Structure 1
Amino acid sequence: MDAVTEPLQELVAHARDTRVVVIGGGIAGLVAAWECAKVGMAVTVVEASTRLGGVIGTAEASGLRLDVGATCWSTRGGAVRRLVDEVLPDAVIVRPRDDSAWIAGLPKGAAAPLPPETFLGIPANPWDEGVRRIIGWGGTWRAYLDRLRPPLTIGSERSLGRLVAGRMGPTVRDRLVAPLSVDRFGLDPDDVDVEVVAPALNPALTRTGSLGGAVAELVADAPGPSVEGLDGGMPQLIAALHARLADRAAVVHTGARATGLVRDGKRWTVVLASAPEGVGTEVPVVERAERDETPVPTADSEPFPAELTADAVIVATDEDTARALLRSAVDDPAFASTEPAGIAREVVTLVVDAPALDGAPRGAHVHAVPGSGTATGLVHETARWEWLARDAGPGRHVLRVAFGAPGAQPATAGLDDTAAFTMAAREASTLLGVPVERIVAAHRDRFTLVPPASATGQRERATTARAAVAKAHGLAAVGAWLAGSGLAQVVADAQTEADRMRRGALWGEDPHA
């Protein structure tokens, strides 16, 4: 045996003897579990709900398999694409056939396409006819004053809303910027940190002398937003990750809620209990469309122990649950807060017969001016994805209507299903400018919309929490509440944190020592 082979064999044996428990079976938890399992670690995943996938799920409705959570990913960084190539190499990766957006809820019930030369909704040229249709002549003249005002000192204004209102006026903020930030991220534009969402914006403003000039420069240099999805839906990725974990003899328990996390010498103890009835389920739907549970095989329903002992633990739950577990495991004021960030949101997915929508009259996205209606916006999924339109057939469409803005509960929160679906159809009719009356099936999801990394203070909150977790050997925390919203951020972050924990467990605190 040579001097190289023997240390490698010892490392392989050490990996096999290292037990890892991942608390949470959403996308972050499954990715972190896979990062550990693929190097030979003994992995156990515990998930409180009855299914895996978290924000990625599917429901059967009227013969269609619908994505009811995340439907795609940003290509930025390439992390999700590499993951798909690794665990699902035969997947058919697609891009939207239409990703255009409209703004609805303008005066007199008008709607207009979002002009292409905008950045975060900020127009490069307020005199553009498409911009004027949205902000009117008064808004256009006010926005033009941006060109006549002196540039701001770099870094003097970090609030996106206040920057836009100060330079171009409140109408640009309220009719162009706010519809996007509220609908997509649940954020008032005043709460968006410019230095995080667009670090190049303030320097460009100083160089060009105006906010419009800065946007023109950034638009010219930007490759444009790009997203990808899977032909057939995103739950294929969850099924693939689960299959890969099974291939590596990882154990997955569903219906198992972690109630405690305790450090005992060099090991961790995870205390488990059966999840209360109803955890992880959703509200019933028209036509009894049911969430598809197929990514979780029946073997996962076997009894689980009251406690699991591990050399390392990865907490991959929602923020509220994570803070409770970490508070019991790490003595640090970073976890003293029990108030998770984010807003309550409901999304109603409608399957409708509406031939008038075959031509996608208002593109794939319609964002509502805040306060103009009860919905924040909608996504016309069959306009966006060719595979879904193919499966649905002519005249049948899938719409996802979102409710829930900052500082308020979703308008559907207190309604029963019938009333919620009726409200969603009414809002869809208004947003699309086409009557939406023949509902074939509907699905309702409730969740907390996690703030993106660009939310004011979010980066600092995540950094503080991460620093506290890093003090404990063999512990990591992943998920959108730390990485920011979006699959690209969540997947890349889960891989990075799993690698940090993995190296620490296999090589000690400093793997290079």
Structure 2
Amino acid sequence: MQRSTNRVDTGTGHVVVIGGGIAGLAAAHRLLATGLRVTLLEATDRLGGKLMTGDIAGTQVDLGAESMLARRPEAVDLARAVGLGDRLQPPATATAAVWTRGELRPMPKGHVMGVPGDPAALGGVLSPEGLARIAQERDLTPTAVGDDVAVGAYVADRLGREVVDRLVEPLLGGVYAGDAYRLSMRAAVPQLFEVAREGGSLLDGVQRIQQQAAARRQTGPVFQGIDGGIGTLPEAVADAVRAGGGEILTATPVLGLTRTTDGWDIRIDTRVITAAGVVLATPAWSASTLLAAESPAASVDLAGVEYASMALVTLAFRRSDVAATGALDGRSGFLVPPVDGRTIKASTFSTHKWQWVADAAPDLFVLRTSVGRYGEEDHLHREDTELVDVSLRDLAEATGLAAKPVDTEVTRWIGGLPQYPVGHLTRVARIRDEVAKLPALRVCGAVYDGVGIPACIASAHRAADEIAADLAGEIIATPTLVQGTRSEAGQ
């Protein structure tokens, strides 16, 4: 017996956003500002995607992304627009270390994603042989890069593998959980790619990048957090969307997407929602499935996007126990090169890094470790207790910390970070070209223009603006700026 399907005809000027991560929420917020009506559909029972807060020993902390780049305006501007401007907070310290060659060593300064401009800053991190290899760089012939090149391959060719293995890998791994020898330089570190295309010395090119950055030096912090956690941003945006007349439905997976003469049919369980436009703000595999019938070429390219998974292990200690051991100094944390063979790839000392964490839990010391890189899925199948134990062992070896935690929380991000291998931007261009052939449908999210929060929001704004332009003749409401307040955001 067939189930009947209820058709919800929403008329003109209506856009459905599929996906309730920060990109989908930002797209909905932007669309409402143009006067379009919006419905956002999220398959799970929670908004925010990889932005999430949780409880550790009675204190709210971030269990996903914890900061956002402030030198790009999109994320900070959105936070202010939804009423969180007075809660923006830069890190209390940005003094990090790298755990390599058996010691915690200060993170060298004057680099671009681990690529140095001055080898003198790398003493202790690199061996004498590694430093000697860098000194040869200006005598090398230019390295051809073509349309794209792997970051690790290019830097190793110019400066030697030690620079990649002990600096570039841990820094890129912290952003992409990826393999530097696979990651696209054009996509992941575009300023270095431009230097590489010019030819000549990489060291001189890095120095030029630093000089240009100094010439346009912005005041204010490089990164920002939010008092209460970056994970509070999605709900604040969601509240602003609701206040602007948008509808948000969670636990509502989309089962099908069909083009019609008037727009789109979006099938959810026994209902079909009609819309003039659609924004797909989902992971690549989901977008691939939904586009299989309407854009087979885009679907195939999306299906080829690989992801890395990771786990965050959050640990709370009595601050008196940590102080008694003298194990931790004022650093914000440390990175771990894969070549050193450790399980954890980084640790963030949240109590040092974020004043709001220190103020919220004055008797606790909160830190977290991350486990898992591209191709290292085995670690994620361990029990929570195993991940806690291995984190504690690595922390003890790195810092001497011997205290036992009073509370722990393990958060797994399966398929959390899309990978950007060589040729990724060409793939993205093909996807967008194919999707653009469809009327009033666009894609956005971490797959396309960067995995950071500002990049995701920028891709959402691009998608929303293009949809609004497509539907300009159908807008039936007066454009309004969708604002939020602290009370609207439940803060």
TM over 0.5: yes
Provide the residue aligned with 2:388 in structure 1.
421
Which of 390, 399, 403 matches 2:367?
A: 399
Q: Indicate if the aligned counterparts of 1:347 and 1:445 stay in contact, CA closer than 8 A.
A: yes
Q: Indicate if the aligned counterparts of 1:186 and 1:342 stay in contact, CA closer than 8 A.
A: no
Provide the residue aligned with 2:455 in structure 1.
489
The alpha carbon displacement at 1:80 in A equals: 1.4
Q: Indicate if the aligned counterparts of 1:183 and 1:368 stay in contact, CA closer than 8 A.
A: no
Q: Indicate if the aligned counterparts of 2:183 and 2:419 stay in contact, CA closer than 8 A.
A: no
Which of 440, 446, 452 matches 2:407?
A: 440
Q: Indicate if the aligned counterparts of 1:16 and 1:42 stay in contact, CA closer than 8 A.
A: no
Provide the residue aligned with 2:67 in structure 1.
72
Provide the residue aligned with 2:273 in structure 1.
308
Which of 308, 320, 324 matches 2:289?
A: 324
Q: Indicate if the aligned counterparts of 1:311 and 1:474 stay in contact, CA closer than 8 A.
A: yes
Q: Indicate if the aligned counterparts of 1:327 and 1:336 stay in contact, CA closer than 8 A.
A: no
What secondary structure does 2:448 align onto? helix
Q: Deviations over 1:158-211 (max 9, x none)?
A: 332122212221112211211212233122222233334444446657989532
Provide the residue aligned with 2:153 in structure 1.
162
Q: Distance in 1 between matches of 2:405 and 2:206?
A: 42
The alpha carbon displacement at 1:324 in A equals: 0.5
More off after superposition, 214-223 vs 254-263: 214-223
The alpha carbon displacement at 1:29 in A equals: 0.8
Letter in 1 for 2:115: I
Q: Distance in 2 between matches of 1:214 and 1:203?
A: 9
What secondary structure does 1:465 align onto? helix
More off after superposition, 74-83 vs 319-328: 74-83
Provide the residue aligned with 1:140 in structure 2.
131
Letter in 1 for 2:343: T
What secondary structure does 1:507 align onto? helix
Q: Residues 315, 434 of structure 1: CA spacing in aligned structure 2 closer, same or farther, 3 A cutoff?
A: same
Letter in 2 for 1:189: A
What secondary structure does 1:343 align onto? strand
The alpha carbon displacement at 1:141 in A equals: 1.4
Provide the residue aligned with 1:344 in structure 2.
309
* 1:449 matches 2:445: no
Gaps of 5+ in 2: 1-9, 475-491
* 1:477 matches 2:443: yes
Provide the residue aligned with 2:211 in structure 1.
220
The alpha carbon displacement at 1:124 in A equals: 2.1
Letter in 2 for 1:369: P
The alpha carbon displacement at 1:89 in A equals: 5.3
Provide the residue aligned with 2:345 in structure 1.
376
Gaps of 5+ in 1: 1-14, 274-304, 509-513
Provide the residue aligned with 2:42 in structure 1.
47
Q: Distance in 2 between matches of 1:18 and 1:375?
A: 49
Q: Indicate if the aligned counterparts of 1:119 and 1:215 stay in contact, CA closer than 8 A.
A: yes
Letter in 1 for 2:338: P
The alpha carbon displacement at 1:347 in A equals: 1.5
Q: Indicate if the aligned counterparts of 1:360 and 1:383 stay in contact, CA closer than 8 A.
A: no
RCO (CA 8 Å, sep 6+): is it higher in 1 or 2?
A: 2
Q: Distance in 2 between matches of 1:59 and 1:264?
A: 42
Provide the residue aligned with 1:123 in structure 2.
116
More off after superposition, 142-151 vs 201-210: 201-210
* 1:409 matches 2:377: yes
The alpha carbon displacement at 1:147 in A equals: 3.3
Q: Indicate if the aligned counterparts of 1:44 and 1:251 stay in contact, CA closer than 8 A.
A: yes
Matches within 5 A, 1:45-124: 45-88=40-83, 90-106=85-101, 109-124=102-117
Q: Distance in 2 between matches of 1:26 and 1:137?
A: 46
Q: Deviations over 1:52-86 (max 9, x none)?
A: 11111111221211111121211233111221222
Q: Residues 479, 133 of structure 1: CA spacing in aligned structure 2 closer, same or farther, 3 A cutoff?
A: same
* 1:504 matches 2:473: no
Q: Distance in 1 between matches of 2:385 and 2:161?
A: 38
* 1:263 matches 2:259: yes
